[in-house]
Amino acid sequence: MNWQFGGIPLHPLFVHLTSVAVPVAALAAIAVAVWPAARRWLGVGGPIIGLVALVSVPLATSSGEWLEHREKETALLERHTELADGMLPWSIAVFALLVLWWGWHRFGAGRQKRTGVVRVISIIGPVLLVAVAVVSIVQVVVIGHAGAEAVWKG
């Protein structure tokens, strides 16, 4: 695919989408994990935000690979692309956990008796959501910093 519009590469556009959508999805995940009012307020919005973030990652990486083949290869650019390849699993995890957490509270948690399984899920769910969200935010910052170095120092 030709990842340009009017002769301008689309990678910066998709990178900006990703650098906003991923942290917003991560913050939504943290909010619904630790704050029941946010879970009620966001509802299905959390998983939708997670889906936008998830879709933005392959757009950014694919357009970045296209752009990489047209640029001079440097160590900084190589580091950026290697780091970027690791973002998709974290975005999948944030999205999947947001969907599961929403589904659990929408269809399961209120209808279940307070058994050991329900208690375990109510402890592990938020811990996983927060952990994956924090890692995804850190990953976006590290990737973005490496990309900025590749552009401005390379």
Work out how many domains the chain is built from and give that number: 1
**Residue 61 above 70 pLDDT?**
yes
- In which domain, by residue range, is 115 found? 4-152
pLDDT for the residue 4: 84
- Asked whether the beta carbons of 126 and 33 are under 8 A apart, the reply is yes
Contacts 24+ apart (CB under 8 A), 5-11: 9/63, 9/66, 9/67, 10/63, 11/60, 11/63, 11/64, 11/66, 11/67
How large is the C-alpha radius of gyration of the chain?
18
CATH of the domain at 60: 1.20.120
How confident is the model over 62-76, as pLDDT tens digits? 999 998 888 888 999
Q: How far apart are CA 154 and CA 148, in angstroms?
A: 9
Considering the chain, what is the average pLDDT of its residues? 91
How confident is the model over 14-44, as pLDDT tens digits? 999 999 999 999 999 999 999 989 888 888 9
How confident is the model over 97-144, as pLDDT tens digits? 999 999 988 887 656 666 777 888 889 999 999 999 999 999 999 999
